[in-house]
Amino acid sequence: MSSPLFFAAQYDAPQDAVWSVLQQPEVWQALTGVDEVTGVEMNGDQLAAIQWRSKIGPRNVTGETRIEASSPPDLMTMVVDGGDVIALTTATLTDLGGSTGIEVVGNLEAKGFMAHLILPVVSESIRHSMPAALARLRDFL
C-alpha cells in the first residue's frame, strides 16, 4: 500500500448542494476523467456504484467505483477498483456556514506483482490530477 493521498477544497455552496451534486454520475465522469461511464447503480437518490471504462497508456481498463459507506451529507467512502490497483477513498464534507469544505483521502493498493510496479506512477498521476478535478466540481454547483 502506498502512502495516503490527501486533497482539500472549499466551495461557495451549502453542504447539501455539494452532496447532491456528488450523487450525479455525470459529475463523477468529469471528476475522475474516465473515458466512459458504462453503468450506474442508485440506492434511491443516493449513488451506489458506477461502472466505467478508460484508456490508461496502451491499456483499456474497465473498473467500478462502489460506495461502501455513506452518511449524507457528511461522508462518503468509496472503493475504486481499476483491476490492478484499488483505491479506498473517503470524502468528508464540512459545513462552513454557507460554504462547504471537502477533504478527500485515498489509499492505493496494488493487486499482483506487476501492479506494484505501476503503483508509484498511478499515485503520482492522482496527485497531479485531483486538484484540477476538485476545481471542476465548481462547474456543477
CA atoms within 13 Å, Cβ hemisphere of 121: 9
SS3 131: helix
User: Does domain 5-140 sit in CATH 3.30.420.40?
Assistant: no
Output the tens digit of pLDDT for each of the chain's 141 residues: 567 999 999 999 999 999 999 999 889 888 887 888 999 999 999 999 999 998 766 778 899 999 999 999 999 999 999 888 899 999 999 999 999 999 999 999 988 777 777 778 788 888 888 899 999 999 999
Residue 120, pLDDT score: 82
Residue 104, all three cell numbers: 478527500
Which pLDDT value is given to residue 128?
Answer: 86
Please tell me the distance from the alpha carbon of residue 31 to that of residue 96, in angstroms, as a whole number.
22
CB atoms within 10 A of CB 118: 16
**Residue boundaries of the structural domains of the chain:** 5-140
